[in-house]
Structure 1
Amino acid sequence: MATNPQRPRAAYVCNACGAAQPKWSGQCADCGAWNTLEEVARPPAGQSRAGGRGGGFAAAGPTESVIHTLADLRPEERVRTSTGIGELDRVLGGGLVIGSVVLLGGDPGIGKSTLLLQACESLGAEHPVLYVSGEESPQQIGLRARRLGVVGAGIRLLAETCVERVLALAERDPPRVMVVDSIQTLYTDLLQSAPGSVSQVRETAAQLVRFAKRADTAVFLVGHVTKEGALAGPRVLEHMVDTVLYFEGESGGTFRLVRAIKNRFGAVNELGVFAMGDRGLREVKNPSAIFLARHDQPVPGSLVMVTREGTRPLLIEVQALVDESPLANPRRVALGLDQNRLSMLLAVLHRHGGVAMFNQDVFVNVVGGVRIGETAADLPVLLAVLSSYRDRPLPLDLVAFGEVGLSGEVRPVPNGPDRLREAVKHGIRRAIVPAGNVPKEGVEGLDILAVKTLAAAIDGV
């Protein structure tokens, strides 16, 4: 029987040696590695990878490839479109870039679909929007839109999981913005594996990226996350898109944080803060106000620090609890911080501060569910731990930041003056900061203690 040359073909490639096999097996016949064969798509005979079933794109001819000189290029300014949600525009770098691909990941039920549906309401007023759902029916989306108060007159809905059919319908009337919820539910006819597998996610995402660049359509891809909090699917998925956004926070909590992990058109590590309510997500325009301590009286183990998330400083409360441990190996628990760094800081406190905690349980928490990745949290963490250990409260109007080195020195951190000016806006009157972060002209209304060592900071409190 003659074979159909247009029939999609699949191959299995070993990710250890790169050898291709016609069918899957547990062991690679070339290098002998086990469980390394992954299904990949191959175009039908006589077609290039960019043509045929790959989303309706014509095969690129040799005349379309041109070598340019970098000095002769005149880059065009990419036009940004506001999503109608200020905090989402912030993490996107100032607005949505038409033709870009944005990957939005987060835990189930944290608000990914809600945020995008609210953004589509504003975008649909000026641009054609296509919402592709592989998990919900149009009726279910309509019920959620009614609950959120989204009219959605300019939003078109499509319940489909085959990426070839999605792109074929989108080609007839190309939308300006397209939402795919979620990438793990789509599949391509080029592969035989189940939707959500590594090969399916990689191939469907590649077709959507090619469509976005060709049709000048902004595409939002909703991604599931694993139990470790990373995006499910191949790591190459994050390299294919232009922007990667992560939802942070507890699903049952009030506040949601959207962080930019990668952004080709804006600042990385930018943070957007939202509050979840009955009518969906509401942006928080002054996040420092919700993260600050609101104690009537000073309490031991509490201190305000100034962290910088993207382009703006934030005031966040750090809490510490030190208690005598009944265990042979005392516990070191850090929520919102790196636990290994906490252990290192406690060793520095013992060696250069003269305070030993080898028989104490130490618990550190960052209020509001924020995750702090910068080293500016070193000094406030140690001061909060010392305050709890001594049962001596710190003043409510005190703020601190600075990196602590292994030799006990306190090093400056970026944008120190901006952090101090932000602290003054929220009623802070005292600050313990590295000597290298103190402005020459000072900060009006702020009493600054400049320190060079951890011992000097301890003496200052």
Structure 2
Amino acid sequence: MVPKASITFVCTECGGETLRWAGQCPHCQAWNTLQEFQARKPEPGRRARSEPRQSGVGGSSRPVPLTEITSDSAPRRQLAWGELNRVLGGGIVPGSLVLVGGEPGIGKSTLLMQAARQVAGGGGQVLYVSGEESNQQVHMRAARLGALAEDILLLAETDLDAICEAITAVRPGLAVIDSIQTVTDPGLSGTAGSVTQVRESAARLMRLAKEEAIPIFLVGHVTKEGAIAGPRVLEHIVDTVLFMEGDRRQELRLVRAMKNRFGSAEEIGVFAMGEHGLEEVPDPSAALLSNATTSSPGTAIVVVIEGTRPLLIEVQSLVNKKEGGYPPRRVANGFDLNRLHMLLAVLDRRGGVPMGEA
């Protein structure tokens, strides 16, 4: 018998549920954030007929004394990148579910492909599931990054049932799903990326990771506001949330831990994007001060704390004299207004071009 579905409305901001649609979420008071969600009711007796879980990270279904549980049986997997190990809290934890977010083109797929190469180089097997690119496209990127290895298995699939079956059959040391917004459960309504699909797909992958002790990395898209696309409950389901940021016109990339159940949530990893992919920056202070001009007026070197380590950064300031009572009103079309203000100030101060009234 097909399980029945109950319709609720889920807030994309806080994950709160309500039985009726409203313009404002009754939990967080956000406007226009409620979306329809169909939750399937389990079949009667399904729990009794289901097979007992294997003793993985979650262990068996019976209660176990806390003193009898040891973490030595599931050690962390160390990667070749110390910067990524730092952000993850010391390495990849078996059975963990990690969400990696960032703007399009920032390097999320590159980061995970190179991490897969390091796991394969250490004797582990990796299952890379691509829901956005074909096998040929992923092969081209892997060849450019030098990540062609027999222990990296590629699966171009968006069906959640097929993905879970592949993970269970292969039992890799690491599974990568690129991306969670393209995965669909055929038993649920809604298109890929909807609240229903993203929420239930992430919850099912979390159960699979815990039961089979397989770490799973998810790639997440971001909205125009810079938040990870999908319901906010997605960030609550996963164990770790890593956010990749940086200017695509520059080479430096920062991987910041926004949430981490296995380590500090204030650590950052510094990487540099080059022709052959990402490279870790073991000395971020030297990289940040490589082009510093401490002899110029208006510059200073300060020390900031990021996570557990101090970093040296350069702070620049520029002050211009303003003629008249009020600054001129400027409008930019197709160009960042703050960047325009900065360029005009540099031209006025350093170039000798009077732009105070422009």
TM class, shorter-chain normalised?
A: 0.7 to 0.9
Name the SS of the counterpart of 1:105 in structure 2.
strand
2:293 & 2:217 partners in 1: Cα distance? 44
Match of 2:95 in 1: 99
For the 8 Å contact 2:189–2:196, the answer to whether it is kept is no
Q: CA deviation at 1:252?
A: 2.3
Q: 1:253-312 CA distances to partner (integer Å, 9 max, x unpaired)? A: 111110111111111121111111110001111110011264556222211111111121
Q: CA deviation at 1:329?
A: 6.9
1:173 & 1:271 partners in 2: Cα distance? 32
Please say if 1:278 is aligned against 2:275.
yes
Please say if 1:288 is aligned against 2:285.
yes
Name the SS of the counterpart of 2:176 in structure 1.
strand
Which of residues 170, 174, 178 is equivalent to 1:173?
170
Structure 1 pair 134/328, CA: closer, same or farther in 2 (3 Å)? same
Q: CA deviation at 1:205?
A: 0.4
2:314 & 2:255 partners in 1: Cα distance? 19
Structure 1 pair 98/281, CA: closer, same or farther in 2 (3 Å)? same
Which of residues 314, 318, 324 is equivalent to 1:317?
314
Match of 1:128 in 2: 125
Match of 2:354 in 1: none
1:166 & 1:228 partners in 2: Cα distance? 30
1:161 & 1:296 partners in 2: Cα distance? 50
Give unpaired runs (5+ residues) of structure 2. Answer: 25-30, 54-59, 330-340, 343-349, 351-358
Match of 1:11 in 2: 6
Letter in 2 for 1:183: I
Name the SS of the counterpart of 1:191 in structure 2.
coil
Match of 1:196 in 2: 193
Letter in 1 for 2:5: A
Q: 1:27-60 CA distances to partner (integer Å, 9 max, x unpaired)? A: 99xxxx9874521321453265x799xxxx7478
For the 8 Å contact 2:246–2:252, the answer to whether it is kept is yes
* Residue pairs, 1:146-161, within 5 angstroms: 146-161=143-158
Which of residues 62, 67, 82 is equivalent to 1:86?
82
Match of 1:114 in 2: 110
Structure 1 pair 65/220, CA: closer, same or farther in 2 (3 Å)? closer
Q: CA deviation at 1:220?
A: 0.3
* Residue pairs, 1:224-373, within 5 angstroms: 224-292=221-289, 294-295=291-292, 298-325=295-322, 328=326
For the 8 Å contact 1:9–1:190, the answer to whether it is kept is no
1:229 & 1:18 partners in 2: Cα distance? 24
Structure 1 pair 297/120, CA: closer, same or farther in 2 (3 Å)? closer
Letter in 1 for 2:39: A
Q: 1:219-243 CA distances to partner (integer Å, 9 max, x unpaired)? A: 0000001111111111111111111
Q: 1:5-39 CA distances to partner (integer Å, 9 max, x unpaired)? A: 1x354332134895547xxx7899xxxx9874521
2:280 & 2:290 partners in 1: Cα distance? 20
Q: CA deviation at 1:169?
A: 2.2
2:318 & 2:257 partners in 1: Cα distance? 31
Match of 2:338 in 1: none
Which of residues 36, 39, 55 is equivalent to 1:38?
36
TM-score (norm 2): 0.79
Letter in 2 for 1:158: L
Letter in 2 for 1:142: H
For the 8 Å contact 2:88–2:263, the answer to whether it is kept is yes
2:32 & 2:78 partners in 1: Cα distance? 49
1:11 & 1:253 partners in 2: Cα distance? 49
1:238 & 1:281 partners in 2: Cα distance? 25
For the 8 Å contact 2:292–2:314, the answer to whether it is kept is no
2:32 & 2:181 partners in 1: Cα distance? 25
Count of aligned residue pairs for this structure pair:
315
For the 8 Å contact 1:202–1:234, the answer to whether it is kept is yes
Higher relative contact order (CA 8 A, sep 6+): 2
Structure 1 pair 291/183, CA: closer, same or farther in 2 (3 Å)? same
Letter in 2 for 1:186: V
1:19 & 1:97 partners in 2: Cα distance? 35
Please say if 1:215 is aligned against 2:212.
yes
Name the SS of the counterpart of 2:189 in structure 1.
coil
Structure 1 pair 272/35, CA: closer, same or farther in 2 (3 Å)? closer
1:51 & 1:113 partners in 2: Cα distance? 41
- Could you tell me the percent identity over the aligned residues? 47
Give unpaired runs (5+ residues) of structure 1. Answer: 332-361, 364-390, 392-461
Q: 1:436-460 CA distances to partner (integer Å, 9 max, x unpaired)? A: xxxxxxxxxxxxxxxxxxxxxxxxx
* Residue pairs, 1:402-417, within 5 angstroms: none
Q: 1:340-399 CA distances to partner (integer Å, 9 max, x unpaired)? A: xxxxxxxxxxxxxxxxxxxxxx97xxxxxxxxxxxxxxxxxxxxxxxxxxx9xxxxxxxx
1:314 & 1:160 partners in 2: Cα distance? 42
